[in-house]
Structure 1
Amino acid sequence: MENSMFCYQCEQTAGGKGCTKVGVCSKDPDVAKMQDVLIYILKGVGFYGSCNLEKGNKIPQKIGEFFTEGVFSTLTNVNFDGERFIEYIKEANRVKKVLKESAGEVSNVPEGADFVSPETREGILNLPKVPNLGVMDDENLDMDIRSLREFLIYGIKGMGAYHHHAYILGEYSEEVVNFMFKAMGKTLDKNLTVEDYFNLNMELGKTNLKCMEVLDAANTGAFGHPEPTEVSVTRKKGPFIIVSGHDLRDLKDLLDQTEGKGINVYTHGEMLPCNAYPGLKKYKHLVGNYGGAWQDQQKEFDNIPGAIVMTSNCIMKPRDSYKDRIFTTSVVGFSGITHIPTIDGKKDFSPVIKEALELGGFTEDEKEKKITIGFGRNATLSHANEIVDAVKSGKIRHFFLVGGCDGARPGRNYFTDFAKQTPDDTIILTLACGKYRFNKLDLGTVAGFPKVLDCGQCNDAYSAIQIALALSKAFDCSVNELPLSFIISWYEQKAVAVLLTLLYLGIKDIYLGPTLPAFVTPNVLQVLVDKFNIKPISTPEKDLEEILG
């Protein structure tokens, strides 16, 4: 039986409506079906988890970690390996059984909560039609309810990614996990109204702020606060390993295992900010950053004489020219690619090291170019008085937070053009891989500061929020009254979680692009416009004129 699919969780979804034959991300219908099945079981896990919590039963951390990893595994560009999803599905069945038994007698069990999946590939792919399993499997569901339900589920996936990175470094939050159980379980409740779903989305925004705080504590607790740092973005002679994704722990372990072996380590994509952490930049063989944002990897990795490690999300279908030298680890998976597993809490990167040494690396140094990064909340707010004085004296007229996910869809040059056209007396705060649209341009300085202040990964959105809140306190006004505008590029589900956090904080007038989410119906969009004045980007000229008057 040939499976069709429907997925519209990312910005690049086919035709701006939904992928139905194969994902733009290259996810095939079989993997899409397995992801749908896993999410459906996790809804039941959420329901029975909530039942346990209501009865005062504590949920074991291992179950919370599995739930977190399960939702994260279905995020865009994370895992394309059907065999791994079969294992997730088996474990989800088991975990739900454990929670159901510990919950005891439960009344008003919603349809789907007791669903048990087959545990073979054939059984999963040939499942008879299950009501509500896929996004569109409930034809009679109100469109706005579906829209807000999917908004919530995608927010949970994004928050799951953040929480996963936190607990890998020893920071686990029961508050975050307990909300994920509650929210996921609620998506099985057919009696929820538009208002109920809207409130749950706002609660997710609130909980995600806590989650990002926990992640910030994990990263800075392990590696110190990022410091303003000049980073090389050019190639060095010698064997090398490129590390992409978001997982700081994986980078640290790889740096430990490559020390003294004559191997250069480069960050890639969202790993660029790692070069600013004291606990990571102390490694002399962490030599800089290679390439740009995630969507350029197929071109940038083509036939390179080195090894690549993908540590979390952002993997694209590997080309044959580098399929033999790319490795996955953690939650990332791609069929036919060597995976570095965690065994007894440790990873052995020796296959990656062996590959890098055998390939030999670059044969000569490239002419060096450097960019400045490391303006996290600690570094930026240490200059708060100077910033406030510069604003009051007119040296800084406005701040633009230009950041978010990058992607391949045409129209993202808007963010490059916007950055270039911002006036000379304005500063750009940026974070996430959207910064690659302009972070190598020489845009000069403003009031003694670099015009572009790089706040880090999308995982560091907490930093940018804290900078905004601190400035509002310094100026004794709300964030909405600050000379600050949010110009956000979105791509996947972590961006959904961050957007909900910004809305929970009451931040208005956010410019969002390059396109609005396909899962947002006209009615839901109207609510967002009415409550928060959220708006699609237009042209840099028009938007700048509207912002600056």
Structure 2
Amino acid sequence: MFCFQCEQTAAGKGCAGKAGVCGKKDDTALLQDQLTGALIILAKVASRKGKTKNTDRIIVEGLFTTMTNVDFDNAAIAKKIEIARAERAAIFAEAAQCEDFDMEKIWQAHEDIRSLKSLLLFGVRGIAAYAYHGMVLGYTDQTVTDFFYTALNALSEEQYGMDELLPLVMETGKINLKCMEILDKANTESYGHPAPAKVSLTVEKGPFIVISGHDLRDLKLLLDQTRDKGINIYTHGEMLPAHAYPALRAYPQLKGNFGTAWQNQQQEFDGLPGPILFTTNCLMPVKDSYSDRVFTTGEVAYPGMVYIGEPKDFSAVINKALELGGYKEDHPMTGINGGKEVTTGFARNTVLAAAETVVNAVKAGAIKHFFLVGGCDGAKTGRNYYTDFVKQSPKDSIILTLACGKYRFNDLDIGEIGGLPRIMDMGQCNDAYSAIQVAIALADAFKCGVNDLPLTMVLSWYEQKAVSILLTLLYLGIQNIYLGPSLPAFVSPTVLNFLVEKFAITPISTPEADLAKILAK
């Protein structure tokens, strides 16, 4: 196998041999490459001979499947390969004889071409995840859908050089912004605009279900099916921001949040007296101590685990919750820093409603800097940087955060400014859209550009959605981004130099040194 699409890749270069650091085995990695190759040929055939909504769905689901920590099930991946091949044969009978694109042509290409094609591929994988979540709610956008075909076609073009690929990489950021906008619309029109909510970290006694991932539709269906059954629901990981949506928190059985970030699941789920439903990434290899209570749905699959497809009947999960019975007494848990509750729901509507307060606080000197500290969490050492950065941030600064990187510090109490909490959780990773809208609004209020604001982005990355968001920020021309805990292995020195020179991307160093550098400007 060869895989270097996530941040924790072996030795910072790439996973090879029998298994990846994420637990993905070599045969699974090869099947995911084969699926990508099948999608590339499907996109090529469909672009020339005509595509359908079914083709669009197959490509979105297939790209999502190949993201990190989504699908570990060889049979499930093999089935998607056959579906892609059958679709291209249905579009054009002669395509049945086509070979899948050989991904080795990308992995063995010149390092700069490999780097740019990797940015393009990993970026569209991240976009596909967001497109999928919008699609299941009935929201799509033709511009976004068409770009999947454009990007996949470009991956097969061996004559493409940097002049052709760089613009496509920047276009990926533009398309991701549009996709996040569509998903924001899908979520807010379906469940209302998020509003601040305090979320308990205590699991109450009695039967319960933990739901992990990002898919709000799955949570809504689970809440409908557990109504009046005496079963409580607890979010996990990136599902935490669901508590901020009015239509979801109206359910009395949506009680709180279980545990911390995704990389701690093997310890936190150990012997758990309740089932876990995974709706999206990030699933880790399942331990025997809780393997009988893991259920997957959507694009998530793991060998030996119960998979729940459409129509989403969660009876098996519900019955397992009743069978296990939950804790006999209330089970208090804490965040990484010992906090007993966390707050979420500071999406764009909430923050912009307080814009006058924020602007006045800046003009009065009460707020001197904004930091967006967020992104993916992960198991690799060095991520305590983000906790220490927030702890050491000046008391006259505001911390905006999103995605699961917030679990490093979201249970801290670092005070308020003018009635506003200094830590504002804006939501899931796709809610980078909210953060961008807030930044643009602040720039408008101060009649300056976003790069002229007292705003610094300090980002952590792990998987491919973080890649697509980074490309969106670069597309918008945002500079001086601090990125860590390490730089992507798939970015070649030449491409890195381009990004540093054009956008002033800076690898993180220490909280003390980085804060001193930022605040000295």
Contact 1:245-1:311 within 8 A present in 2 as well: yes
Q: 2: distance between equivalents of 1:51 and 1:233?
A: 53
Q: Which amino acid aligns with 1:238?
A: G
Q: Which amino acid aligns with 1:355?
A: K
The 5-angstrom pairing of residues 65-464 of structure 1 reads: 65-100=57-92, 115-116=98-99, 131-133=102-104, 135-136=106-107, 138=108, 141-342=109-310, 346-366=311-331, 369-464=340-435
TM, length-normalised to structure 2: 0.96
Identity %: 54
Q: Which amino acid aligns with 1:388?
A: V
Contact 2:231-2:253 within 8 A present in 1 as well: yes
Q: Which amino acid aligns with 1:15?
A: A
Aligned match of 1:44? 41
Q: 1:196 Cα shift? A: 1.1
Distance 1:134 1:87, change over 3 A: farther
Aligned match of 1:125? none
Q: What's the secondary structure of 2:159's corresponding residue?
A: coil
Deviations 1:233-278 (A, max 9, x none): 1111110000000000000000000110000100000000000100
Q: 2: distance between equivalents of 1:73 and 1:155?
A: 14
Q: What's the secondary structure of 1:309's corresponding residue?
A: strand
Q: 1: distance between equivalents of 2:99 and 2:297?
A: 28
Distance 1:60 1:500, change over 3 A: same
Contact 1:45-1:185 within 8 A present in 2 as well: no
Aligned match of 1:121? none
Contact 2:115-2:492 within 8 A present in 1 as well: yes
Unaligned segments of structure 2, at least 5 residues:
334-339
Of 53, 57, 81, which aligns to 1:61? 53
Contact 2:439-2:450 within 8 A present in 1 as well: yes
Q: Which amino acid aligns with 2:441?
A: A
Q: 1:534 Cα shift? A: 0.4
Moved over 6 A (4+): none
Distance 1:367 1:86, change over 3 A: closer
Q: 2: distance between equivalents of 1:371 and 1:329?
A: 27
Q: 1:514 Cα shift? A: 0.1
Q: 1: distance between equivalents of 2:465 and 2:92?
A: 30
Q: What's the secondary structure of 2:289's corresponding residue?
A: coil
Q: 1:95 Cα shift? A: 1.6
Deviations 1:59-112 (A, max 9, x none): 322211111000000000000000001110001101222344599xxxxxxxxx
Deviations 1:489-525 (A, max 9, x none): 0000000000000000000000000000000011100
* 2:512 corresponds to 1:547: no
Q: What's the secondary structure of 2:16's corresponding residue?
A: coil
Contact 1:422-1:544 within 8 A present in 2 as well: yes
Aligned match of 2:336? none
Unaligned segments of structure 1, at least 5 residues:
104-112, 118-129
Q: What's the secondary structure of 1:347's corresponding residue?
A: coil
Contact 2:73-2:302 within 8 A present in 1 as well: yes
Q: 1: distance between equivalents of 2:379 and 2:106?
A: 25
Contact 1:224-1:277 within 8 A present in 2 as well: yes
- Count, aligned residues: 513
Q: What's the secondary structure of 1:323's corresponding residue?
A: helix
Q: 1:173 Cα shift? A: 1.4
Q: 1: distance between equivalents of 2:232 and 2:473?
A: 39
Q: 1:427 Cα shift? A: 0.3
Deviations 1:353-410 (A, max 9, x none): 0100010101112458332210000111111111111101101000000000000000
Q: What's the secondary structure of 1:200's corresponding residue?
A: helix
* 2:15 corresponds to 1:19: yes
Contact 1:50-1:178 within 8 A present in 2 as well: no
The 5-angstrom pairing of residues 523-534 of structure 1 reads: 523-534=494-505
Distance 1:102 1:172, change over 3 A: farther
Aligned match of 1:107? none
